[in-house]
Each structure stands twice: as C-alpha cells, then as structure tokens.
Structure 1
Amino acid sequence: MRTWISKGWRPFLVLILLFIIWEVAINLFEVPAWLMPSPSEIWEEGIASWSEFKGHFSSTAFLTITGFAIGCSIGIGTAVVLHLLPKVREAVYPLMILSQNIPIIVLAPLLVIWFGFGLLPKIIVITLICFFPVAVSAMDGFRQTNGEYILYMKMSGATKGQIFRKVEWPHALPSIFSGLKISATYSVMGAVISEWLGAQKGIGVYMTLASSSFRTDRVFVAIFMIMLLSLLFFGLIVLLEKIMVKWNRKEDT
C-alpha cells in the first residue's frame, strides 16, 4: 500500500499537467465552447447542473450495480459448473467464445424488440458484458490450481466437493477478482449504452440530450462522471480483493 501511495502522485501530476495544457490551449486559440470547452468551463457546468444531473447519475449507478451483480453471479456459477463437469465444458465453452463475436451494440436493438423499453433489456446488456470476463477468469483460476495440493487432498480421502471448496476455490480467487475488475470497468459503459435504447433517466440519456443541443460542456461532464463512476467501482473491487485474498499481499508491503 505504501508503494502505491508513493507512486500515486505521478499519474496525478500528469493529469494535472494535461488539464493545464488543455486550459491554456483553449484560451490561447480562442476555441468556441460549443466546439471544445475548457476544463474550467466543464467544472463550472458540472457544479451548476448537478441538481439536474444527480438523478441521471443515481439511475446509471443503480443499473450498473444491478447488471454487474447479476452478470458476475451467473459468470461465476457457470464457471463452477463447467469446471466440475468437464464434458459439459467441452460442449459449452466454444459456444461462449463464439458468443463474444456478436457486438452488443447490434444485439441491443433486438433486446428492445423482444423485451420492450423497460429495465429488463438494459439489465441483459450489462449482464452479457460482465458475464464473459468473470466466467473465463474463474475457469482459468480453477485450472491453474497447484496439482500437488489436489493430489495431497485426494490422498487424504477428500471428496471432489471438498477439494473444490478448500483448494480450488481459494486459489482461484485472484483470477476471479481479475475478471471482476475488468467487468467493473465495462459495466458502466454497458449501462450507458443500454440507456441509449430508450431510457427516461441516466447518464446516457443526459449525454444524448446534451449532444443534440450542442451542449459540449455537458457532454464532457457526462464523460468525466462515467470515468469517475468506473474508478469508484473498480476501487471497491480492489478493496474487496484485499480483504478476501489475504495471502496475496506481498506486493503491498
């Protein structure tokens, strides 16, 4: 943790420098705000429109958390089943890979046709986005468990279920959390994409309205809030990983 803090100022400094260059360039070349607003204008608009924006933010956050929870739960459950049933995995795994070749942006309109404009198609979009990284990471984690530990458990008379609970599952946790972190970053963008299908509230709706009215400053407010929500979500997963994967802390000491 101390190592991360000692190095954390570097990207922060680079980010501040980029904002300064951006601000100076906008003022120097007198770029109109509708084309490219300055960071100070985006900040002022974010504060001024927060009372209107917070409802969209909370709607997207709720949609993200719900879809993420469902997608990751299904992904982990599927990985467990496919790991414990190798013959089923041989039949299903290639289909999982094939399903990732279907662009979500193409599938989304079909979900609206099938399920309407309610919450369900939006949850399905986020679920599909979160499912695959978690499922694949979990299965890789199960397969990479040290064979010597499994052999020792078998020699001790342990059942397949006991081997999974006491050896394979704990050792797969780092891989599972890697998949969760990937899904956490994708889930916010999935929520925004799903809101373009016809939602009444959400950052995606706010961004569409701002873009159609040439409020570029509001578009950038939405972009930065999407980034912030993704970082917060990612940070929560990292914190949960540090709590649950206690033996994997050598890098932080």
Structure 2
Amino acid sequence: MRGWKDYLPPILLVLILLFIWEVGARFVSMPFILPAPTGIALRLWELKGSLFLEHLPATMLIVIIGLAISIILGVGLAVWMHSSKGIERALYPLIIASQTIPTIALAPIFVLWFGYSIWSKVVVTILITFFPIAVNTFDGLRSSSKELRELMLTMGARKKDLFLKLDVPSALPFFYSGLKVAFPLSVIGAAIGEWLGAQAGLGYFSRRMMTQFDGAGVFAPIVILSLLGIVLFLLVVMFEKRSFKWRK
C-alpha cells in the first residue's frame, strides 16, 4: 500500500496533464497538428501490428547493439584512464569534446559513411550513450577510500587486489547511475538515426507519418519510444537493487 501511495502523485499529475491536453486539442480542433490523447491511442491501436511486429524490433536491435558497445567502450575507457594519469590527460579532453558537437549534425555524416544500414543508427546511439557510462564509471573508480587503500597496501595487497576489491565495488553505484542516463538516451539516439535515414524503426515510421500529415500517426511511435525508455530505466533500477541488497 505504501508503494502505491508513493506513485499516486505522479499518476494523478499525468492524468491531469492528459485531461488538459485532451480539452485543448478538442478546442483547437486541428488533429493534424495537435491530436488528442484519445486520438493517439486509437491510432496506436490501429497501427499496432505494423508498429510492434516490424518497427519496434528494428529499433530494439539498434538500442541493444548500441548499449552493448557503449558499455564495453565506456567501462574500458574509464579503466584505462584510471590506470594511468597520462592516458587520463590524453583521453579525457577528447571524451568531453565528443559531446560538444550536436549529434543531429553528425548523424547525416554517419549516413554518408555507413549508408542506410543499421550501423549508421548504432553509431549515433553509441555517441550519445557512451559518455555518461565512461565519465560516471571513471569518477566511481576515483572515489575509492584512501584510508582503505592504505590499509590494504599495509596488509600486502597487490595492484590487482586494490582494483578488484576496492576500486570496482566503489565504482558500481556510479556505473549504475551512468546506465540510468544512458539507457533512456539510447532510445533517443536510435530514433534520431532512424529519423534521418532508415527503412524500418519507430523513428522512421514517425517521419513517414509526418509526410502524410497524420498527427496521431506521428505521436503513436513516440508513445512507444517513451514507454521503451521508461522500461529500460526500470530495468537498470531492478538490477541495481539486486546488486545492492545491503543498501537501504
């Protein structure tokens, strides 16, 4: 009961906003620009076969591949920078610089390089998601207790022991924080890539509906993308809770 009470305020706020949206859309009466939530839900039901059987799997494949590569790349860079000050000085500014260029400006270049294949969308997803993973993991590795490090060195710990038994446990909460940011962003990256050039996917479908002036059709895949981002976030929260059962 206490869990439901915690979720009651945001649920009520969402319902109020949807009601205001519904009334406003009916007042404006321009469904090709501002469709009502009920109209979007009806259009989503009409398009469910195409959206869920064809376009959602295409987007999910991009998200899964992009996140897998981002986790490997982000954690690898974080560990590499943590192992050497020289590597940190060389790589950290480049990692920061990679986020200063708008992704929407680089996406057409990736399409030129990789064509309309899945990899142009995967690269966009990686560019958006690897940064929070790398930076948060690196900060976590640096946050380990100096007192515990000195104690372990006094007791004869090797560099491997310090990394596995002190640095990695200290970095895990930061790593999960990075994942909480990266997982929802992966959906945005996949949608941006599909929007600019694809043959399937929720972003591609939304763009196609826009060319047909189908306002509800544009919003229908956006609803699925939003729900997908929420599900991915909750998935990270679930794994985090299982990894830190000792933490209240």
Moved more, 192-201 or 112-121: 112-121
Identify the residue that residue 50 of structure 2 maps to in structure 1.
Answer: 52
Question: Does the CA contact (< 8 Å) of 1:117 and 1:199 recur in 2?
Answer: yes
Task: Quote how far apart the aligned CAs of 1:117 are.
Answer: 2.1
Residue aligning to 2:21: 22
Listed one character per residue, the Cα deviations across residues 189-234 of structure 1 (whole Å, up to 9, x for unaligned) are 0000111232110011100111111100011112211110000011
- Give the equivalent residue in structure 2 for 1:167: 166
1:108 maps onto 2:107 in alignment: yes
Matches within 5 A, 1:1-253: 5-27=4-26, 29=27, 31-54=29-52, 55-248=54-247, 250=248
TM-score, normalised via structure 1 length:
0.93
Equivalent pairs counted in the alignment come to 247
Q: Residue 92 of structure 1: CA displacement?
A: 1.4
Structure 1 contact 71–131 (Cα < 8 Å) conserved: yes
Specify whether residues 35 and 108 from structure 1 end up closer, same or farther in structure 2 by C-alpha distance, changes over 3 A only. Answer: closer
3-state SS, counterpart of residue 196 of structure 2? coil
Gap runs ≥5 in structure 1: none
**What's the CA shift for 1:152?**
1.1
SS in 2 for 1:214: coil
CA distance in 2, matches of 1:70, 1:152: 36
After the TM superposition, which of the residue ranges 38-47 and 115-124 deviates more from structure 2?
115-124
Give the Å deviation of 1:242: 0.8
* Aligned partner letter, 2:8: W
The answer to whether the 8 A contact 2:116-2:199 is kept is no
Identity %: 38
Contact 1:117 1:197 in 2 (8 A): no
1:108 Cα deviation (Å)? 1.4
Shift of 1:37: 1.4
Please give the secondary structure, in 2, of the residue aligned with 1:246: coil
For residues 11-45 of structure 1, what are the alpha-carbon distances to aligned partners after superposition, in whole Å with 9 as ceiling and x for unaligned? 01110111122222333x25122121111111111
Secondary structure at the aligned position of 1:196 is classed as: helix
